[in-house]
Amino acid sequence: MRVIRAMSGLRSIHRRRFTLSRRATLMFAIGGVAGLASQSSPARAETRATKSQLKNLKAVGPEHQVVTIRHHGNTFEVATADGRSKIVPDVNLHIKIDASDKGPPAGRPVILPGGMVGDRATVFFASPEEIGALIKHQS
């Protein structure tokens, strides 16, 4: 009789432990989904975009200062002031205007890396007029 009571006691302990474990897993999953939902909210995305736009583009080094941009078929070749050049597919090169006080100096556009694996880049110009003057098409 004692053996049966001991066995039923063990079963209830295991059942209680399983129930607590299942409840904890469920609460963890709900918390994780709620955390993901709050991180992907538009307000956070806007904050991230604003922070990245606040970088002082006047103070970047020569490795980010664009000298020439050449368009070859479906790629751009961007040469920088340090003598290096980077080839970027045209769909991965973003062109933006930053006329703020932290934007690039007139006539000296700036390139910054982008994308999660560094496969994209953004070129910042001081004004729209500079874009056509700098980009040269080559066949």
1 SS3 class: coil
Q: Is residue 49 part of a domain?
A: no
Q: Is residue 17 part of a domain?
A: yes
Q: Is residue 46 part of a domain?
A: no
| Contacts within 8 Å (CB) and 24+ apart, 131-137 | 131/95, 134/66, 134/68, 134/69, 134/109, 135/69, 135/70, 135/71, 135/76, 136/68, 136/69, 136/70, 136/71, 137/70, 137/71
Q: Is residue 70 part of a domain?
A: yes
- Going by pLDDT thresholds of 50, 70 and 90, the confidence category of residue 37 is very low
CB of 118 closer than 8 Å to CB of 86: no
Q: Is residue 114 part of a domain?
A: yes
* Portion of the chain with pLDDT greater than 70, in percent: 63
pLDDT value at residue 11: 64
Question: Can you give the CATH number for the domain in which 69 is found?
Answer: 2.40.50
pLDDT digits (tens, 9 = 90+) for 82-96: 999 999 999 999 999
Q: Is residue 48 part of a domain?
A: no
Number of domains in the chain: 2
What is the Cα–Cα distance from 101 to 56, expressed in whole angstroms?
Answer: 8
Based on the fold, state whether residues 69 and 11 are members of the same structural domain: no
Show the domain range for 30: 2-40
Q: Is residue 35 part of a domain?
A: yes
What is the Cα–Cα distance from 23 to 8, expressed in whole angstroms?
Answer: 22
Alpha helices in the chain (DSSP H): 2-39, 42-53, 129-134
User: Model pTM?
Assistant: 0.61
CA 62 to chain centre: 23
Q: Is residue 116 part of a domain?
A: yes
